[in-house]
Structure 1
């Protein structure tokens, strides 16, 4: 049986939130905003984090909205300049610039620095999307447009939203995270005509073999899902894959009513 006195409890409507009983708050949002007294731990609460998250999306969208065609390049921050992959990433940055693409990286050292260097020295648009980490990396000197993020998911949205494809060099957990995120988005058709190219056949061979011999063999993914990836050591192949994807996008655009 419903107790009638429940309906007599004070009720407060705070936007879409209804407060009763122990959740009833006698203060108002404006009062808390204008009151300089009291603790400051409110800046670490979840509702406040929502505003920070919103601001990261707004800043990212605002900074990159007019970027134009771009390719996101990933790879290890630990790659040294004397590593052959470093120079290959420099060359890729230059070639992407020549093809009319901006180059987007995570803004850090290693492969990211190399791709940004190639783009900048070729007179192209060099973008770095940094992330707050316990071990500070900072933005490399070859980035001309940088956006720093607190939240990985906001940063990852920018990598995909403003790129026409991913080129992935040898890397660690962060690189694999971006790679599988992109593969999932393509597999589920959240993004279309979005090429993913792995540079470094010997490095990626074990992963590709595992995908085929374990995931496909045990029917965890379909055989066609392997076609989401192109693996190569040749930058000519990279550029060809990107060009074909661009042609597919344009053809799809022409077919729209």
Structure 2
């Protein structure tokens, strides 16, 4: 069932036939409205800086002057839900280093398009859009030399033993501290936590993950196994992680 409020979409595609196909898909999909159909990344950058915000960006990767991947890196925040569209699956690895919901390969079939739309809706339902704004998390050492920190969780300072934290995951404007026993929502970005954590054994391994390197059980095909959980390793972090693990 579509959301009660339609999702405003912008299409960025330099191929006219592909652009018209996406326009048609948006038009026949309940709960979507087309706000703009643009021919290249430069037009899109100007549009997204100057026009009302959109919820969904259907974005071609291979475009002249400014590729879709480059456009994502310079878009104003907060980002819309981004669905990439391309002719080459080879871009998938690099694409998922970026905040992308899904990746469609041309020629796009309508059934696959609907799957991407559902992923966008599912993600929106998981995002804490209804949560009130909160101040950045307070992170304070409980005592000199201690592995405990006081972290603001759900509006109160909670004492956590960071030796028990397996990894930290970014979710929208907040983060989740994951232990083997439970998860704690912290109202701070992953960048804030990365900058403030005083422990050298916590390491960024992906744009969405920081891991406790002392709790890594195994590494399999650029995936870290930490207890019952699996954490992906981003391409740009693989060499640094390998060097770090070699010193453990």
Above 0.5 in TM-score?
no
Bigger strand share: 2
TM-score by length of 1: 0.36
TM-score by length of 2: 0.37
Between 1 and 2, higher relative CO (CA 8 Å, sep ≥ 6) is seen in 1
